[in-house]
Amino acid sequence: MSRYYQLEVRTIGTTEEDLYLVCCDKFGWSEESLDDTNFIGEGCLCGGKSEEEAHEEISKAIKEIKPEAKVKTQWTYLEDLPYETYGDDIE
């Protein structure tokens, strides 16, 4: 089962190319926004992988390129977002 997320990766000590290589090329996330220290994209976690496990994989891949980098990820689950409904009852 896959789950659809928005992923934000914040870093210190990387380049735009490093983040693109890891997030898009290696892990297949689609890019929405990218600069030298931040990546925002969307994609799926598959095979029951947790957000924490995926963070560890992304962090490890970035640190293989830049060992001194600092990496923080934020995961937003997009399939079941909370919402509010207002107005008349229509059924």
How far, in Å, CA of 22 to CA of 10, rounded? Answer: 13
Q: Give 70's Cβ-side CA count (13 Å radius).
A: 1
DSSP 25-51: IIT-PEEEEE-SSEEEEEEEE-TT--H
With a pLDDT cut of 70, the percent of the chain lying above it is 99
Taking residues 16-24, report their average pLDDT: 96
The predicted model scores a pTM of 0.86
Q: Map out the domains of the chain with their CATH numbers.
A: 3-77 (3.30.70.270)
3-state DSSP helix/strand/coil percent for the chain, to nearest 5? 30, 35, 35
Q: What is the pLDDT of residue 54?
A: 95
- Average pLDDT over the chain reads 93
Q: Is the CB of residue 61 less than 8 Å from the CB of residue 26?
A: yes
**pLDDT tens-place string over residues 34-57:** 998 999 999 999 888 999 999 999
Report the pLDDT value the prediction gives residue 1, as an integer from 0 to 100: 63
Q: What is the pLDDT of residue 85?
A: 83
pLDDT for 56 equals 96
Q: Which helix (H) or strand (E) holds 16?
A: helix 16-19
